[in-house]
Amino acid sequence: MAAAPKTIPRHIAIIMDGNGRWAANHGLPRIKGHEKGADAVRACVEACGELKVEYLTLYAFSAENWQRPKTEVFALMRLLEKFLKEKTAELLEKNVRLQAIGRLTDLPLNCQRQLHESIERTAGNDGLTLVLALSYGARLEIIDAIQSLLREIEAGHIDKAMINPDLFSKHLYTRYYPDPDLLIRTSGELRLSNFLLWQLSYTEIYVTPKLWPEFGKEDLRAAVADFAQRQRRYGVV
């Protein structure tokens, strides 16, 4: 195993792209690509734990994904429920705390129940925090934050003159987590796909041509090593 880079990102976010293409390349149904992608999730969680990364946010299911064929959406929801049922004990063993962001009430009730159970069971862990973005869209998140602020203004809890970036951030789904330091996107695509648009303002971006099911521990370590070579200026010289 290669030595850990000296500079480790506190928070890594990943757009897990390429499951469908991996399945097509292997002559398999799309859901097989998603199943194989679950193995990559496990590998990255383990790698982040070994590197002492504090937060890992995975773009697991976007708000736009509901528009996919009903059979694929149904299979994805079953896969999510199965993943949570089977992996919660492993998360406990590895001291991983599970969290989730997005419009979670859009998920099927059985998925919601299993998700809440897994979150509660791992709540006492103090190692890596694994955040699943489910039924998530950054534009929806920003709209929800605006509506939350408006409710507080109408209730007299805050004045509109108080609104600034820091206060706005406290109304986002991610208010309990630091902004990502590193964004990884697999499959070579060069777009954000409506993911964490506010939070990624100063995030370093790493794109790999590897499809998500092919992405392993050493690939994550390579991304972190690349990050360690960057100079983050945040707009200043």
Q: Which residues are catalytic?
A: 17, 65
* CA-closest candidate to residue 102, choices 137, 60, 127, 59: 137
Asked whether 19 and 30 are in contact (CB, 8 A), the reply is yes
* Residues belonging to the chain: 237
Asked whether 137 and 62 are in contact (CB, 8 A), the reply is yes
Q: Beta-strand (E) ranges in the chain?
A: 11-15, 55-62, 97-101, 129-136, 182-185, 204-207
Given phi > 0 = left and psi -120 to 50 = alpha, else beta, which region is 126?
alpha
SS3 195: coil
SS3 70: helix
DSSP 126-184: -SPEEEEEEEE-HHHHHHHHHHHHHHHHHTTSS-GGG--HHHHHTTSTTTTSPPPSEEE
In angstroms, what CA-CA distances link 50 with 45, 53, 127, 218, 237? 9, 8, 10, 12, 33
